[in-house]
Amino acid sequence: MNSIIDVEFGLEGNVRIYEDEKQRYIKAALSMGTPEEQVKLKENLDAIDWSILKNLAHVKTGQERGVFAPLDAVEVSEIEAKAEEFKEIGLNAIREGKVGAVLLAGGQGTRLGLDKPKGTLNIGLTKDLYLFEQLVHNLQDVTNEAGAYVPFYIMTSTINNEDTIAFFEEHNYFGYPKEYVKFFIQEMAPACDYDGSVYMISKTDIAMSPNGNGGWFSSMVKAGLLDDIRDKGIKWLNVFAVDNCLQRIADPFFVGATIASGMESGAKVVRKAAPDEKIGVLCTEDGRPSIAEYYEMTEEMATLRKENGELVYLFGVILNYLFSVERLIKIADDNMMIHVVEKKIPYMDVDGTLVKPEAPNGYKFETLVLDMVHMMADCLPYEVVRGREFAPIKNLHGIDSLDSARELMQECGIEL
Ligand code: UTP
């Protein structure tokens, strides 16, 4: 691995990371450690490709993007008119074993502040109802109707893998057949403070965190799951987030619409609630499908309206995508954009004290599944009704919270 830094982001050029004067947490850890611990730490440091720190340059300048243009969605009214056709195609694909589901559950849920995997959150009010459980129920709605099980892959990280598996075991997979569930672990990346000083978590260990949700397919390949996908004849993978308790999984209408469109991917989208809503918008970039993050849109772009008053960039993504396996295999080794994300990062300070910050204190490096959309030749934006399918839990209270999700679930008639 390359442990040499050769970039200018406040770090000196061409030095080993532990020789860099500005790496104060590493320096402190080295000075505190025994000779054995120092050797261990250097080994750990040498195992990391530090060129990832180059991405800090994007904090100031932003990532370079191409030319965005609007992309029309297949809207709810059109979906309703073709509902039977879409459903039939989707259910048949499920019955033929062509659809798999991938739950992205490797995140740390720092905004929620749980020490356990996010999916273990109890969203019930009068009874226990765990986020993982609700997601399994949502999937079972489909598998019951199809009369066939959907292979269910769950991405975890080294931090939450054991707890996640133990939770599913303890709850007997919430009634889903265990042989259809497979776990795999995603990669990790180092985290640093605002000056680019890499955080340590002990005298030998770097503060590593899950490297975003974009590497899910290559992690599946590394875990040997491509054989499983091929053996089962899976042609489509439906990828979704752990924290949207209302989302439909392996939704036959969505699967059917995407297959019928002839496109190699589909994305569930909702109408933006307001021009400044913090949601990525599905559009095209240099002629290919892409997602413009809310902070990448100019005010003009965000507020631009059609003659009928609707926003031109109207449809926001909700982290529920369908990807063709054939295309995923082709792009599995392609480099993905690395995003520098501000987060709360627990660390060991230079005096050896462990700090659990209350507010963001630095950067993590993440690839994002939304960037995969741009690696597809085309993508069907598929509109869903927000109140029925979008209840993300990012915080305990306020916007996108446990409170708001509970309200939305009750409005959908789900007993809590
Ligand atoms: P978020 O972007 O909300 O991140 O993840 P998070 O880690 O869960 O929460 P915060 O930002 O720290 O509060 C969106 C989805 O992507 C998954 C999450 O588990 C969630 O389903 N994810 C995120 C991963 O699987 N791996 C990651 O490295 C990051």
The whole-model pTM stands at 0.92
Does residue 1 lie within any of the structural domains? no
Measured in Å, residue 107 CA sits from the centre of ligand 1 at 4
Q: What is the pLDDT of residue 64?
A: 81
Tell the residue nearest (CA) to atom 7 of ligand 1.
107
Ligand 1 in contact with 155 (CB < 6 A)? yes
Regions in the chain scoring below 50 on pLDDT: 1-13
Residue nearest atom 14 of ligand 1, based on CA coordinates? 241
Domain with residue 216: its CATH number is 3.90.550.10
* Domain annotation covers residue 362: yes
Instruction: Look at residue 342 and tell me if it is in a domain.
Output: yes
**Residue 416 within a domain:** no
- Give domain status of residue 314, yes or no: yes
d(CA 100, CA 149) in angstroms, rounded, equals 9
- Please report whether residue 274 resides in a domain: yes
**pLDDT value of residue 404:** 96
**Does ligand 1 lie within 6 Å of residue 316's CB atom?**
no
The domain total for the chain is 1
Q: What is the pLDDT of residues 323-346, one digit of tens each?
A: 999 999 999 988 898 999 999 999
Q: Which two tokens stand for residue 273?
A: 């609630």
Residue 2 lies in a domain: no
- Please give the residue range of the domain that contains residue 327: 7-411
Ligand 1 centroid to Cα of residue 187, in Å, is 13
- Looking at residue 115, what is its pLDDT? 87
Report pLDDT for 15. 62
189-228 pLDDT tens trace: 999 999 999 999 999 999 999 999 999 999 999 999 999 9
What's the pLDDT score for residue 4?
Answer: 39
- Whether residue 331 lies inside any domain: the answer is yes
